Amino acid sequence: MRGIAICALASALASCSVGAESTALDRLAPCLSDEGPTDAYCGRFEVFEDREAGAGRVISLKILVLPALGSDARSDPVFFLAGGPGQGAAQLAPQLDGMLSRLRRGRDIVLVDQRGTGDSNRLDCQFYEEDQPPPADFTVPREKVEACLAELDADVTQYTTPVAMDDLDDVRAWLGYDQINLLGGSYGTRAALVYLRRHEEHVRTIVLDGVAPPDMSLPLWFPRDMARALAKLTGDCQTDPACSQKFPTFAADVRTLLDRLESSSVRVSYEQPATGETVEVPLTRGLASGILAGVLYSTWNSSVAPVVVEQALNGEYRPLLELGSMNGGVSEVMAQGMFLSVTCSEDYTRFSPEEAAVRAEGTFLGTSVYTSRWSPCLYWPRKKMPDAFYEPVQSDKPVLILSGDLDPVTPPSWGEQVAQTLPNSRTLVAPGVGHGVMPQGCAMRLVDEFINSADPSGPDAECLQKLERPSFFLSKTGPVLLDETEAEDGND
């Protein structure tokens, strides 16, 4: 394929290493228009699927490099590690190019589709058709899981984080980089921490945004952390004069709505944005709570929640489903099979269903997401992880930890926990921010300053305190109430 450079295998690294006068771009070729940004360079690197065996099936990893724009480019690039698990970093290049432009002034940005994602032997499973309800409300039947496994050309137990981070280090060596800077978001923070533990000698700095450490056990803590975010949402509405006046019982309204749907679900017709088709779905408590959980990731989406909950209590359920569909695009870039290979092996096996029920007791999600989102783990082949995988990562490398105070899945407590064994780290909490601090306000400037200095104490982070939750919608027209005449005229 034109625009693709392929080295042999990891075992052949000694014979295909980059020469002293070569650069990473010498191993790659300009990307074609369907491969990434036209000023980027693309390539491929092959590894054994079973790294331990060093034989058998070979998989090809997609590499995309956004070259440094300055004439005095540094030799230590930034490796971006995507979230999910299931997102491919190279796959996100068009979106990342803008967000990482400040970093690109002086450094290459290296994006590698982790094995099982993007264009690196993607493990894709479509358990539901586009015209079916979101899977947060339903378990996945065993036959659908087995059908997906039969279609995949992969040993799905070989797609865990440690294996992928060894792939990444081989890519680093092949491209000719020695010291690298790791930039991880969400699940990418776990990947970065695992890389740090396994290949510390090649790490210069690390930025962790929304920390999900190896010992997190996502299904176990998901309901608790979501409940915290919902409490933040309802509490902020109560302390906001306009929101509290318009929705004085918002917290109670959420409970009333979910209790109503638990006793009796309703069938609702709405138009799906992806297809434009009108579909009818059963709206249950499980589906409604799953939609609310998805809304909490974004403070912009959650600012509409009080209006939507009020409408639902008045029998107008369509806006709630439409709000849930705003998160539909995530599934298009998420490799569901890779998500399962990671979470079923690394998270799901560390606790019992009884413990999950205890942890979820009293939360608005309960066990609904655990029994649906992770139901395929009952049938998905899993790899037993060594006990050492779950031990705290210890290092004196410079680390900048970012957390959104309103984050529903990786709240600040996880960043604070990780910092305890990273003595050269600094934790910054951004108020008014949900999942993902880097795209907000001055965050990327702070990241750039940190990577340049390799000193966590250096950046002045006072600017983060200016980040506030967006104004709540007081009606479907926005944060400002309109009188009937203005609404009819379409004026604001």
* Per-position DSSP letters for 188-201, written without gaps between them: HHHHHHHHHHH-GG
Q: How confident is the model at residue 332 (pLDDT cuts 50, 70, 90)?
A: low
**Mean pLDDT, rounded, for 421-441:** 97
Q: Which of 229, 176, 245, 224 is nearest to 26 (CA)?
A: 176
CA pair distance 39, 42, nearest whole angstrom: 10
Are 228 and 411 in contact, with CB atoms under 8 Å apart? yes
Helix (H) or strand (E) holding 433, with range, is none
Whether 240 has a pLDDT exceeding 90, the answer reads yes
Tracing tokens 């080295």 back to the chain, one arrives at: 7
The lowest-confidence range among 132-146, 177-191, 213-227, 427-441 is: 132-146
pLDDT at position 19 is 43
pLDDT score, position 445: 97
Task: Say which residue, 423 or 286, is predicted with more confidence.
Answer: 423
pLDDT given at position 21: 54
Among all chains, which residue has been given the structure tokens 């695992």? Answer: 194
What does the alpha-carbon distance between residue 453 and residue 455 come to, in Å, rounded to a whole number? 5
pLDDT band of residue 358 (cuts 50, 70, 90) is very high
Q: Which residues face 374 on adjacent strands?
A: none
Rg over alpha carbons for the chain, rounded to the nearest Å, is: 23
Q: Who's near 141: CB < 8 A, 6+ residues apart?
A: none
Question: What pLDDT, on the 0 to 100 scale, is given for residue 322?
Answer: 86
Q: Which CATH architecture has domain 6-123+159-215+391-459?
A: 3-Layer(aba) Sandwich (3.40)
Q: What CA–CA distance (Å, rounded) separates 208 from 212?
A: 9
The mean pLDDT value for 280-308 works out to 92
Of 39-53, 114-128, 435-449, the one with minimum mean pLDDT is 114-128
Q: What is the pLDDT of residues 258-272, one digit of tens each?
A: 999 999 989 988 877
| 88/91 Cα distance (integer angstroms) | 5
pLDDT band at 479 (very low <50, low <70, confident <90, very high): confident
Domain range list for the chain? 6-123+159-215+391-459, 218-330+470-489
7: which 2 tokens? Answer: 């080295």
CA distance 129 to 147: 14
pLDDT at 129: 65
Q: How many helices (H) and strands (E) does the chain have?
A: 20, 12
Q: If we measure between CA atoms, which residue out of 324, 328, 457, 320 comes closest to residue 401?
A: 457
> What pLDDT is stored for residue 4 in this prediction?
37
Model pLDDT, residue 481:
59
Q: Are 209 and 185 in contact (CB under 8 A)?
A: yes
Give per-residue pLDDT as tens, 184-206. 999 999 999 999 999 999 999 99
pLDDT above 50 for 222:
yes
Tens digit of each residue's pLDDT (9 = 90 or more) over 9-59: 443 333 344 444 567 899 999 999 999 999 999 999 999 999 999 999 999
Q: How many CA atoms lie within 13 A of 404 on its CB side?
A: 32
Q: What is the chain's mean pLDDT, rounded?
A: 90
